[in-house]
Structure 1
Amino acid sequence: MNSSESSELLIKLNRETSKILWKDLQRFYAQGAVLVVAPGVDLVATAASVANDEAEEISALMKNEKLIKATEYIATTWLAENCEVWAVVVAPWVLVQKERNLP
């Protein structure tokens, strides 16, 4: 992928990123299709890595627990908190990121 295509993908993913209540993503969680991006990690850049199937980058993020499949603990905690997350779809995945709690 050349830099122009890469830039276009980042712009496209950025436009498709939005906030959504976690409860509205439950069916995707139940299907095992939700990936959680750690706070502080660029959600759009991570989505681009997934879209481009950049195995080394994805592997490094997963190894460092910066990208994980949503766990039951996360799902139940976020549901109880009725939290809002940033989300972007990179089929078949939905990548989500909870905003950091500000002091």
Structure 2
Amino acid sequence: MYDVDVDMLNREAAKILWRELQVFFASGKTIYVSTDLDLLEVAVAIKRDEADKVRHWQSEGMVGAVTDEQALKWYQANSIVWSVVIKPFVLVQDKA
């Protein structure tokens, strides 16, 4: 199990323009997190390799790869998203 500094993750979570994350999206490294979930809770679960929890969220459609449609919507709206990095991924959540 990985040691996770939740306070550090909280400090690193930030609002960012979706357009600034395009390179990560293009390389398949962006993960969508539903607004029904806590972004940091998901980040910790991924970092700790809590596969059952993450698979459950995925099966419910609450966590998964950012789709082309979602990316285009955020791009066209010049959206700001919440983000946190869990290498090699960037987790993103709609700010709204």
TM-score bucket (shorter structure): over 0.9
How far, CA to CA, are the matches of 2:58 and 2:73 in structure 1?
21
Structure 1-normalised TM-score?
Answer: 0.88
TM-score of the pair, normalised by structure 2: 0.94
Structure showing the higher helix proportion among its residues: 1
1:37 aligns with 2:33: yes
Q: Percent identity?
A: 36
Structure 1 distance, partners of 2:74, 2:41, is: 24
Deviations 1:15-43 (A, max 9, x none): 11000000000000000000000012100
Deviations 1:61-89 (A, max 9, x none): 10001101011001111000000000000
Gaps of at least 5 residues in structure 1 are none
**Two-structure CA RMSD over aligned residues (Å):** 1.1
Indicate yes or no: 2:4 matched with 1:13: no
Equivalent-residue separation in structure 1 for 2:65 and 2:36 (angstroms): 17
Q: Which has the larger radius of gyration?
A: 1
Number of aligned residue pairs: give it.
Answer: 95
